[in-house]
Each structure stands twice: as C-alpha cells, then as structure tokens.
Amino acid sequence: MIHASKRAKRIEYAIRDVVIPANKLEKRGIEVLKLNIGDPIKYDFKTPEHIREAAAKAVMDSRSEYSPSEGLPELREAIAEKERGYGVDISVDDVVVTTGVTEALMMIFAAALDPREEVLVPGPTYPPYITYPTFYDGIPKTYRTVEEDGWQPDINDIRKKITPKTKAIAVINPNNPTGAYYGEKVLKEIADIAGEYGLFLISDEIYDKMLYDDSFVSPAKIAKDVPMMILNGISKVYLAPGWRIGYLAIRDYEGQLNDIRDGIMRQARARLCANTPLQLGYLAALKGPQDHIRKTMEKLRKRRDYVAKRVGEIDGLSVVLPKGAFYMFIKVEGCDDDKKFVLDLLQEKHVLVVHGSGFCPIYGRGHFRIVNLPPVDYLERAFDRIEEFVVKYYKEK
C-alpha cells in the first residue's frame, strides 16, 4: 500500500463524518430524519429568484472566463461597500473572493501559521477551525465559552491561553454550533487582548444578518487599531450554500498584516480563481432586494421556539436559546460519550444529529447539535423519536 500523508489522516469533519453510517441505513431503505447539516436548501428554503436569475444569465452570457485571482472587481467593490456599511474601513484592494469561507480559512492558516504556532478558537467551534490549523502543523487551542452565560466567551480563559507562539484569536459571531451572539462589550474585550499581545483577529461573520433580535456589530468597527481578517459569503444569509462563494476582507492596522496578505495572495494566484458566473450571482445578492432575510428569520424563529419547547419537555435535555444562526446545541445530562449517544440514536431511531465533541472534545462534550431549519412537522417527527430514545437512555443508565 502507498500510504497517505499523516497530514491528510488528521482531517476530521464531524458534521459530514456522521453521514457515512446514515447512508448505510438509507441503502437498506430506511428513512433517516436529518438534522445534521446547516443547509437551508435541503429543507423548504430556496435561493432568492433574482440571485438565481443573475447566475443563470451569467452562464448563458458565457461569463465562463477565468476571473482575477482576487475576484471580480465589481463584486469586490460591492463587498467593500457592504463592510463599510458596518463601519469597517476597507477598500476593494483588501478583498479576496474565495471558494466559500472554508477556503478563506485554509488560506489564512496556511499563510499565518508556521509549525507549532497557535490560534485561539472558541470552544465549541466550527470544526475547520480545529482541522485546518492542525493540517498546516499549527495548534488550535479552544478557549472556553460558558453555557450558563449564554455560551459567551470566558475572557480570562482567552488571556490565560495566550503564549509566545499565539498568532491570532478567532471569533465566530453569531456562533456555530451554539447560536450565541457576542455583543460590543465582549468583542471589545477580546479585541483589547489581541491588541495587547500583538495578535490579529479572525472574525467569521457568515451569519451576520441571521439574528433573531439583536443588530449585528463587527469587531472591526469597535477596535480600529487591531488587525483583522473578516470572513463572509453567500451560503447562509443568501441561501446558496452549494455555490461556494465567500470572501476574506483584510482590515489591517499600520501594515501589520502585509506579510500574511502576501502569503494569501500567492495562494489565490496559485489556485487561479473562484467560480466566475456565481460571483455575479453574489453581486446580485448584495445589490438586490433583501426582503427574503426577514421572511427567513420569521420561519426560523418559529422552528427555534418549537425545538426549545420540545427540549424543555424531555427530562435530561436542556438548551440555551440561540440568538442567531440556525443551530441548537443541546445538553445531555450525565452523558460521558456523546458520539455513542448520537450513533445509537441514529441506529435505533434513525435521527441524524452531530455529537458535541466533534465541535470540541473539551467544551462540546456531552452535547449534540441540531439545525432548526426543517418545517415544524419534520421537527415534530424527529423529536418524537428523540424523546423515545432519551427516555430509554436514562432507564438503562
């Protein structure tokens, strides 16, 4: 056998890894109720028509050329304009269009981390924040977020975990997997620490317009003297996850990110460009009507509230009500092996969720994540099965 690299074997992605046993059940003709993946299109949401039309027109107009490595100029200008609306001081030259936020993360970690250098990420966190630093021989260190405090970051824990090898602090806001939203006070405290230690911030804002009650604030508006990488894209707010169009925006301060910027641009050139016609679709998304967002959030609120009600009625389960995004991170009281819990639920009741330790083995343990994207009748069927399983689970403990 010709062996794979150790680097490749370190890759894990809990959200899709649990699909493998689910696929085996489906091949046997068993219906699996899926609550595992943050894809609105899998349920009853559609990409807004004007966005689809713009992408289709781009294809029919044969806009199939290689675009500039950093992205189409008109899209980058629209992105810069959007960010300036949040009070972020950037220009078109600070924007790189990527194949989703995941590629943006890969570029940042590849450019910023030498072996054994560290990045602080929230715990629990979106899995690529653990996977990709490790892939590039860096070290992801999770800082504690406090469930009893609405999954807010533990500022003292962030400070305690900084070492001479720390390069950056990541913030996902609103958060995946907990749905927490960090307000101005917390963001300023994190930014102040970054500035004190000469670090840069990674601000993942992919759910920026998916808040139930609050108004979004970017840390780049609050802390103008801290260098930042801002991440966003079309996937969530504009309901087009499979298009894989995202961006990173470099909000520098006194040229501190010049070297990392150069490393990112070298990668952008080497991988040629992001999908050209779908960049034009994203341009239409940013420039066109935004009324679908309110309708989306109205549906998600009803579904979030239904799940919270069902969880509250099941002994042994609890959940912090999310303030944004479309995830719910549910605690299983006294559960020492959440992955076994999730796989047993799948095998016995044919409901697919994601084990909390897949988002952080320390701060995610004893939980499972669901999406509150499906219609209420689908959620009802799933939670009827979950309730039956949990009752049996505690009887056998």
Task: Give the DSSP letter string of 118-147.
Answer: EEEEEES--THHHHHHHHTT-EEEEEEEEG
- The kind and range of the H/E element at 331 are strand 327-332
- Shared domain for 131 and 240, answered yes or no, is yes
**Residue 396 vs residue 336, higher pLDDT:** 336
Please state, in angstroms and rounded to a whole number, the distance separating the CA atoms of residues 361 and 336: 11
Question: Is residue 105 assigned to a domain?
Answer: yes
CB contact at 8 A, 180 and 320? yes
- Shared domain for 278 and 295, answered yes or no, is no
CA dihedral of residues 380, 383, 385, 386 (deg, nearest 10): 180
- Shared domain for 187 and 281, answered yes or no, is yes
- Shared domain for 163 and 211, answered yes or no, is yes
- Shared domain for 221 and 351, answered yes or no, is no
pLDDT band per the 50, 70, 90 thresholds, residue 1:
confident
* CATH number of 37's domain: 3.90.1150.10
pLDDT at 389: 97
Task: Name the residue among 359, 360, 369 with its Cα closest to residue 329.
Answer: 369
Question: Is residue 213 assigned to a domain?
Answer: yes
pLDDT at 286: 98
In sequence order, the 6+-apart residues with CB closer than 8 A to the CB of 8 are: none
pLDDT at 131: 93
pLDDT in tens, 4-16: 888 888 877 777 7
Is the pLDDT at 44 greater than 90, yes or no? yes
Please state, in angstroms and rounded to a whole number, the distance separating the CA atoms of residues 287 and 42: 26
pLDDT at 270: 96
- Shared domain for 33 and 58, answered yes or no, is no
Query: End of a domain among 243, 263, 287?
Result: 287
pLDDT at 12: 76
Please state, in angstroms and rounded to a whole number, the distance separating the CA atoms of residues 249 and 83: 9
Helix (H, G, I), strand (E, B) or coil at 369: strand
What is the average pLDDT across 249-260? 96
Write down the mean pLDDT value for the chain. Answer: 96
Q: For 16-20, 266-270, 329-333, which range has the lowest pLDDT when averaged over its residues?
A: 16-20
- Shared domain for 103 and 239, answered yes or no, is yes
* CATH number of 205's domain: 3.40.640.10
pLDDT in tens, 300-348: 999 999 999 999 999 999 999 999 999 999 999 999 999 999 999 999 9
Domain enclosing residue 297, as ranges: 6-46+291-396
Burial of 145 (0-12, 13-18, 19+ CB in 10 A): buried
DSSP class of residue 375 equals -
Question: Is residue 1 assigned to a domain?
Answer: no
- pTM, two decimal places: 0.94
User: What amino acid occupies position 124?
Assistant: P
Question: Is residue 58 assigned to a domain?
Answer: yes
Number of structural domains (the chain) is: 2
Count of CB atoms within 10 A of residue 112's CB?
A: 22
Please state, in angstroms and rounded to a whole number, the distance separating the CA atoms of residues 352 and 344: 10
DSSP string across 190-244: HHHHHHHHT-EEEEE-TTTT-BSS-----HHHH-TTS-EEEEEESTTTTT-GGG-
Pairing of strands 317-319, 327-332: antiparallel
In sequence order, the 6+-apart residues with CB closer than 8 A to the CB of 124 are: 142, 145, 177, 178, 329, 356, 359, 360, 363, 364, 367
pLDDT at 11: 79
- Shared domain for 261 and 299, answered yes or no, is no
- Shared domain for 120 and 268, answered yes or no, is yes
Task: Name the residue among 298, 303, 320 with its Cα closest to residue 373.
Answer: 303
pLDDT at 127: 93
Question: Is residue 142 assigned to a domain?
Answer: yes
Question: Is residue 190 assigned to a domain?
Answer: yes
pLDDT at 227: 97
- Shared domain for 116 and 12, answered yes or no, is no
pLDDT band per the 50, 70, 90 thresholds, residue 110:
very high
Query: End of a domain among 230, 253, 287?
Result: 287
Question: Is residue 181 assigned to a domain?
Answer: yes
pLDDT at 17: 80
pLDDT at 285: 98
pLDDT at 13: 74
- Shared domain for 108 and 253, answered yes or no, is yes
pLDDT at 82: 97
Helix (H, G, I), strand (E, B) or coil at 153: strand
Is the pLDDT at 384 greater than 90, yes or no? yes
Question: Is residue 209 assigned to a domain?
Answer: yes
Q: For 3-12, 290-299, 386-395, which range has the lowest pLDDT when averaged over its residues?
A: 3-12
pLDDT in tens, 191-246: 999 999 999 999 999 999 999 999 999 999 999 999 999 999 999 999 999 999 99
- Shared domain for 84 and 142, answered yes or no, is yes
pLDDT at 4: 87
φ, ψ at 283 (rounded to 5°): -60, -45
Burial of 182 (0-12, 13-18, 19+ CB in 10 A): buried
pLDDT in tens, 165-192: 999 999 999 999 999 999 999 999 999 9
pLDDT at 104: 97
Q: For 17-31, 36-50, 97-111, 148-162, which range has the lowest pLDDT when averaged over its residues?
A: 17-31
Percentage of residues in the chain having pLDDT higher than 70: 100
Is the pLDDT at 134 greater than 80, yes or no? yes
What is the average pLDDT across 261-282? 97
Query: End of a domain among 246, 271, 287?
Result: 287
